[in-house]
Amino acid sequence: MALREGEPVTSALIRGRRKLLFSNSSDAASRSISDFVIDIIFVSTLGASAFDMGVLNALGSVAFIFASIPAGQLVDKYLPTTVLRVGLSAKLVLLILVMSLVFTNLLTIPLGFFLSALLGMCNVFTETSQIAAVPQLSNKDSENREGSITSLIAKLTAADQTLAIIIPAIMGVVLDVIGAPTLLALSSALLLSSILFANSIKKFGSPNNDVSEINSSVKSEKKGALEGLRFIRANRTLLALTALVSFSNAGLAVGSAVEALFIIKYLDLGPQWYGLLTAIGGIGGVVGAVIAPRITSRYTSQSITVATAFLQILGSSLMLTSAFTPSLTSIILIIAHNLLWGIVVIAFNISTMSWVTSITPEALLGRVTSGRRMFTFGAVPLGSLLGGMLGSLWGIPAALVAWCALIATGLLAYYLLIRSDSGKAGANPEQIS
C-alpha cells in the first residue's frame, strides 16, 4: 500500500486516479450490460408484466434507502478501496449466480427480484466507495486540489453516463447473436477487471499520509452511523444541494414514468419515433459527457449548479409545451429537450458532487455521500409512483406539469436554504481553475 521506494508522490497519485477511473468504467460497463440483459430476460423469458418490471426497476433505487447509512459507515470506518473491492467481489458472485440460473433455466421472477435487490445493495457500497476515494487520491498540498477533485469526478461521471447510453444500444444489436448467458459472462469478466484495477491501487491517500495515518484520522472523527445525516442537517449548503437534487430526481422520475406513453400514444407518434427520439437523447448524453468536464473546469460549482437547474426547468418545459403543439413542432421540441437534457444533467451531476466533496471532511465523506443518496435516490421510486398516478388520474400533461414543478420547487428550496447559510464556509466555493 505504500509508495515504491524513490517514486514521486505525484506519479503514484496519477496512477491511482487512472486505476480508479478504469475500475469505475469497467464496473459501469458491467452494470449496463447486466441491467439490460436482466430486463430482457424478465420480459422475453419469464413473461414479466408491466407491474413486475416496475418493481424490478424500483429495487435498485430502493436499495439506496436501506443500504446508504451502513455503506457510508463502512466507507468511513475502513479505506474506501477496501469497501470497493468487497462490494465488487460480492457483485461478481451474484452475477455468476444469475448467469448460472439463466443458463439452467432455473431463474424465476421472485428469485430475480431478490438477486436484483442484492445487486442494488452492492451498487450502493461500490458507488459510495468510488466517490469517497476521490479526495484521497488528490494531493493535499496542491494549490489546485479542488480542480483535481472536480476533474476526476467529472471523468467518473462522464464514463458512467456514456457507457449507460452506448452499452444498451450495442447490446440490443448483439443479444440475438450471442445470447443472454454469454452477455452475462462478458459482464462478469468486466466486473473481474474492475476488481483487479481497484486491487492494484497501491498508494491510497494524501502524499503525507500512509494507510495507518488515514485510519487514525478517521478514528479521530465521530464514528456514529448517523453522523453524516447530522452533518448534512447542520450544513445548510449540503442541505440545499440535497433538496435540489432530490426534487430534480423526483421530477425526472415523474417524466420518465410517462415519457414512452406520451410519445407513442398521447402524441400518436408510434414506437418508431419513440426509438428515434430516444436515440437522439443518447447523442445528447454522449455530447454532454464530452463537454461537461470542460464546463466544470471553467466555472464554479455553485454557478454551474444553479444554471443547470434552471436549464432543467427549461428542458422539462419543452416537453410539456410539445403536448399542445402540432406533430412536427412537438417532434422538434422533444428533440431539443433530449439534446439539452443529456448535456445539462451530466454537468449538473458533476457540479453538485464536486461541490459536496469540496466542503465535506474526508473522514465523513462516505457517510455524507450515502446520507445524501438515501434522499436523492430514494426520491426516484416516489417520483415514478407519482408520475404513474398523475398520468392515470388526470392525464399525461398533468404529470409533465409536475415534472416542471418539482424541479422549480427544488430550486426554490435551494435558494431559501443557501441564503440562510450566506457568509458561512462552503456557501461560496472558490473559482475552479
In angstroms, the CA 80 to CA 165 distance is: 27
And the C-alpha cell for 24? 469505475
Question: What would the grid cell of residue 300 be?
Answer: 464554479
**Under DSSP, is residue 13 helix (H, G, I), strand (E, B) or coil?**
helix
pTM (2 d.p.): 0.68
3-state secondary structure at position 395? coil
CA atoms within 13 A on the CB side of 264: 9
DSSP letters, 236-290, are: HHHHHHHHHHHHHHHHHHHHHHHHHHIIIIIS--HHHHHHHHHHHHHHHHHHHHH
Highest mean pLDDT among 73-82, 291-300, 339-348: 339-348
Q: Roughly how many angstroms between the first and final C-alpha of the chain, as a whole number?
A: 31
CA separation for the pair 220, 209 (Å, rounded): 14
> pLDDT per residue over 360-412, tens digit each?
887 777 778 778 888 888 788 788 778 878 887 888 899 899 999 999 999 99
Q: What are the structural domains, with CATH classification, of the chain?
A: 9-220 (1.20.1250.20), 227-420 (1.20.1250.20)
**Chain segment 280-333, per-residue pLDDT in tens:** 776 777 777 777 777 777 888 788 889 999 999 999 999 999 889 988 898 899
pLDDT in tens, 10-56: 677 778 888 888 998 899 889 888 887 887 788 778 877 656 766 77
- CA 215, distance to chain mean position in Å, is 27
Across 350-355, average pLDDT: 82
- Which has the closest alpha carbon to 38: 65, 63, 59? 59
| Three cell numbers, residue 146 | 479542488
Q: Which of 336, 338, 320 is nearest to 267 (CA)?
A: 320
- Return the C-alpha cell found at 326: 402540432
- Contact criterion met (CB below 8 Å) for 201 and 19: yes
Compute and round to an integer the Cα radius of gyration of the chain: 22
